[in-house]
A and B are shown apart, each in its own frame.
Chain A
Amino acid sequence: MSAASLTVAPTGDRRSWLVAPAVLVLLALFIYPFIYGVVISTQPLEGGGFWANYSHFFTTPSQWGTLWVTLKLAVPATLINVGLSVPVAFALRRNSRAQRIVTTLLVIPITLGTVLVADGMLTFYGPAGWFPQFLQGFHLYMDEVRLTHNFWGVLISLVISGFPFAFLLTLSYISGIDPTLARAAGTLGAGPWNQFRLIYLPLLVPGLSMAAALSFVQAFAVFPSAILLGAPAGPTRVISIAAYEAAFEQYDYGMASAIAIVMGFVQLLIVCAIFAFRRAFYSGPATSGKG
C-alpha cells in the first residue's frame, strides 16, 4: 500500500481514466434505470399520491400474497441446496478425478438454464414421463404422480438449477481451506467428524453465509420456471410474475417498478439477516481461512 502511494502521484493517475467508459455505461444502463424506476414507482397511474403504488401492493392480497408464495419456495430451496452442498463438497474437497467429473456434470444444468430445465422436467416428471413410470413400475408410489404445474415442480426446478450453483460455490470455499490444518488435527486424534466440526465448519461459515445469500437471492427471483412448471395463476404466482404482469400485461410501469423495488428490498433484508446471523455466532476473518 505504502509503495503504491509513493509511486502514484497524489493528483491522480492518467491511467485511471480508462475506467470511465465502463462506469459511464453502467451509470446509463443500471443506475439511471434504477432511479427512473424509483421515480415512476411514486407516480401512480390512477393518482393517489407518493406511496399509492406501495400501499396498493401491501393492501391487495393478490399482490402481497406473492411475497409469501415466493418465500415458501425460496427458503426451502435455499436450505436444501446449501444443506446438501456442504456434505457433498466436504466429501469431494480433495482435487480428484471424482471431483472433476462431478463438477463438470453439475455445470451442465446451470449453463443450460432454467428454461431448458423446465422443458425437460415437463416431460420427465410429467404424468406420463419416465419418473412417474419408474415409481409405479417399481410399486414405490401407486397414486397419480403430480410433480408439474404445481408447487413441487417449481421447488424441484429450483433444486436442479440451484444445488449445482451452491455446491460449486461451497466447493471453492472448502478447497480453499488448508488441508494441513485438518491433518494436524488428525494427528492429535480428531476423527473425520471432529475435523469437520472443529476445523472446517468454523472456517467455512463466512463462505457458507455468502453461498446461502446468493442462493436465496437467486431462488427468490425465480421467474420462468414458476410460469412453465408451476401454477402461475395461483399457488406459484411469485413476486416476479406479479411485477412482469404489471409491466407487460397491464402496462402499469409505475406499479411494476414498485413491485421490483419491494422485491429487491426483501432480498436485501434477508441477505442482511443472513450476515447478521453469521456475525452473531461467528466472529473472525471476513474471508475464508487460508491456514
Chain B
Amino acid sequence: MIMSTANTLPTSRSTGLPASPARRWGWLWRATIWTVMGFFLLNVVFMIATVVVNSVATRWFGTPLPEGFTLSWYGRAWDDFQLAHVLVVTLEVVAATVLLSIVLGVPAAYALARAQFRGKRLAMLLILLPMMVPPVTYGIPMATAMYQIGVGGTLTGVILSNLVPALPFVILVMTPFIEQIDPGLESAARIFGANTYQYFRHVLLPLLVPGMLAAGLLVLVRTIGMFELTFFTAGPDSQTLVVALYYAVFSTGVRAPQAIDAMAMIYMAITLLWVLIALRFVSPTQLVSRVKEAPREA
C-alpha cells in the first residue's frame, strides 16, 4: 500500500539524479558564493577588530598583535577631541531632527494616506526627490544658501539640513503604515460622539505609536551617521560625532592613531547600540531603503 504511492512521489524530484553534472555544478556554485561572501564578511569583521585592538594598543606596527594594552587612549581622546561637547551637540542634533521630522512628517503622511487633493502627485514628487538625489549633490547649494541667510555654521543650520533627508523618510515610512489603519475606526469614533481631538488622542494616536517609534528609530540611526550634510553646514562649535571623527582621521599625522580609534570606538558603540534597539522593531532592509518588506510565505 505504501509502495503504490511511490510511483507518484518522484515527479518533483525527478530532476535530481544522484550523480548528475548539474548537481555537481550546483554544489560548486554554492561553495563559490559562500567563499566570496565569507571573504567579504571576514574583511568587515577584521576591519572592525583592527579598530578595537588599536584603540587599546600601546604601540602597534607591523606585528600581528600590539606590544601591550592600555585604556589610556580613551581618556586622551575624550580630552583631545572635546568629546563631551561633541556628544552634547550630537544629542541635540539627533533629538531635534527626530522630533521635527515626526511632528511634520506624520500629519503629512496622514494627509497622503487618507485625503485626495489636487497637487498630491506633485507633493509626492517633492517628498521623493530628496531621497533620490545624494546628499553631496544637493548639500553644496543648500549649504551655500544657508551661509547666505546666516544659519550656516550654526546648530540650527545643522538641524535644518538633517531634516531634508529625515522628513521624507518619515513620510515614506508612515504613509503605508497609516493606509493600513482601518478608516472605519474614524466613522465608529464619530458615531460614538468623539470630536476630532478625542478621535486623534484616543483612537488614532495609540495606533500610530508603533509606526512612529519605527520611523523615529530609523531617522535616529541615519542622523547619527549622516556625514555629508552635517559636514557642509557645521561650524567649529556644531560638529556632530561623525564629523569630528572625520576631522580626526583627516589629521592622522597630528594625532595618535590609537586616540582616533578610541574615538571611533565611542562612535561605533553609540551607533551599534541604537542599531540593535532599532532592529528589535524594524527589519534590516528598512535601515537601508524605504523598500517595503515583502510579506513572507510561511
Residues of A with Cβ closer than 8 Å to B? 4-5, 8, 12-13, 15-19, 21-23, 25-27, 29-34, 36-38, 40, 84, 87-88, 91, 95, 102-125, 128-131, 133, 160, 163-165, 168-169, 171-173, 175-176, 178-180, 186-187, 189-193, 214, 217-218, 220-221, 223-224, 227-228, 240, 243-244, 247-248, 253, 256-257, 259-261, 263-264, 267, 290
Contact = CB atoms under 8 A, between A and B. Distances in A.
A121 B44 CA distance: 9
Contacts of A23: 108, 123, 126
B217 to A, nearest CB: 11
Interface in B220-274: 221, 225, 227-228, 231-232, 242, 245-246, 249-250, 252, 257, 260-261, 264, 267-268, 271-272
Contacts of A88: 33, 36-37
A136 to B, nearest CB: 10
Contacts of B279: 104, 107
B107 to A, nearest CB: 4
A22 B127 contact: yes
B232 to A, nearest CB: 8
Given A23-B126, A113-B225, A123-B257, A130 B64 contact: yes
Given A105-B41, A120-B51, A15 B140 contact: no
Contacts of B64: 130, 133
Interface residues of B, number: 102
Which of B47, B142, B285 has most chain A Cβ within 10 Å? B47
A175 B136 contact: no
A223 B33 contact: no
Contact of B142 (A30, A40, A169): A30
B50 A22 contact: no
Interface in B103-158: 104-105, 107-108, 110-112, 114-118, 120, 123, 126-127, 129-130, 132-138, 140-148
B164 A169 contact: no
B90 to A, nearest CB: 13
A244 B227 CA distance: 14
Contacts of B136: 221, 223, 240, 243, 260, 263
Contacts of A175: 294, 296
B180 interface: no
